[in-house]
Amino acid sequence: MRLRLSPPIYCCVMATTAIFLFPVESRCFSACSEELPVESIAFEQVAANPVFVPAKGKWDSKIRERGWILQDNLGWKLFYTGYDPDQQPPSMSLGLATSSDGIKWQRSSEHPIVGEFWIEDMMVVKHLDEYFMFAEGAQDQAQLLKSTDGVHWDRIGTLDVRLSNGQPIPNGPFGTPTAFFEDGVWNLFYERHDAGIWLARSSDMKTWTNVSDEPLILPGPENFDALMIAMNQVIRSGDTYVAVLHGTGSPAKPRQWCTYLATSRDLIHWTKDIRGPLRPISENKSSGQLVHDGHQWRLYTMHDKVDLHLPVGKP
């Protein structure tokens, strides 16, 4: 299947550990008309890896789960979750780094840009003149934040997700929120216990209603995601949607995660790429995000460092 991708409309897809794509109005420097052969595209690591690492002995001495990269005519922004494992009680804070090329990154500050409340496993949608961040808060509760500049964030609150009958979803974790905006509708993909991916929709981002109370995507049947899955990103490509997911089949900790793709024609029925992981499972590449740099598609992975991968055979 060869897909012609329109200018990056970044969106998310569920994932438990990752950093990546989907700003609804993020732009390429040039038209993103390059075809993406979903069933054959392959990525290789760059010599510069890792392109971003934790700051030893600092508040972000560890990097956790999904972060997010936005690239437009103003440059590159990397939002990430940092924490200090020795801090008690533990806290997950939001960091920001910038770059002119998406390879060499500079922290915007020695301190988190948001540290007063828990932010983890986030993704960002730039819609019109505002930034919207969908993230996990404490106890894996999906949160919404808003910003006018991508630096100063206001917490709107925990997402109000309802069953298809309008009743609140059962208590418990619901995380790795991935948002995709299209035709006046916000689509929210989320996971519960990494045991499946659900889709809820909203017209105002205030109340979200499940399309189905059963998960749209389940782990397996292949071994690479037989135990847990999450969605990191969703991209619109013509009449097809491409999702970046991560999963694991490792029963023992520390688990090894992998990043892979799935496609859909309606955002509801998904088919996983039969090739499986984009990189070997042994590399433990999680929380993937696809970003177009104006010339080609890049694959970034994160959790506990950020690695860059380019299409095989391209500079």
Flag whether pLDDT at 5 surpasses 70.
no
Q: Is residue 284 a contact partner of residue 17, using CB atoms and an 8 Å limit? A: no
Q: What is the DSSP string of 52-77?
A: B---TTSTTSEEEEEEEEEEETTEEE
Look up the pTM and report it: 0.89
Least confident of 20-24, 79-83, 107-111, 133-137: 20-24
Q: Can you tell me whether residue 225 is helix, strand or coil?
A: helix
pLDDT tens column, 148-161: 999 999 999 999 99
Q: How many residues in the chain?
A: 315
Sheet with 289-292: strands ordered across: 43-45, 307-311, 297-301, 289-292
Per the DSSP assignment, residues forming a β-bridge with 3 are 36
pLDDT at 73: 76
Q: Residue 103: give the domain boundaries.
A: 2-311
Flag whether pLDDT at 270 surpasses 80.
yes
Residue 81, token pair as written in the block: 């979750």
In angstroms, the CA 190 to CA 176 distance is 6
CATH value at residue 222? 2.115.10.20
pLDDT tens column, 176-197: 999 999 999 999 999 999 999 9
Q: Is residue 311 a contact partner of residue 42, using CB atoms and an 8 Å limit? A: yes
pLDDT at 35: 58
Answer positive or negative: Cα dihedral of 134, 120, 230, 53: positive
Q: What is the dihedral of CA 142, 206, 95, 93, to 10 degrees?
A: -50
pLDDT at 8: 40
Domain count along the chain: 1
Flag whether pLDDT at 123 surpasses 50.
yes
pLDDT at 41: 84
Confidence of residue 27 (pLDDT cuts 50, 70, 90): very low
Q: Is residue 246 a contact partner of residue 23, using CB atoms and an 8 Å limit? A: no
pLDDT tens column, 256-265: 999 999 999 9
pLDDT at 34: 56
- Report, as an integer, the average pLDDT of 262-291: 96
pLDDT at 33: 44
Q: In this structure, which long-range contacts are made by residues 202-205, counting pairs with CB atoms below 8 Å and at least 24 apart in sequence?
A: 205/132, 205/144, 205/156
**173 preceded by a cis bond (ω within 30 of 0):** no
Residue type at 278? Answer: L
**How many C-beta atoms surround the C-beta of residue 37 within 10 A?**
11
Flag whether pLDDT at 91 surpasses 50.
yes
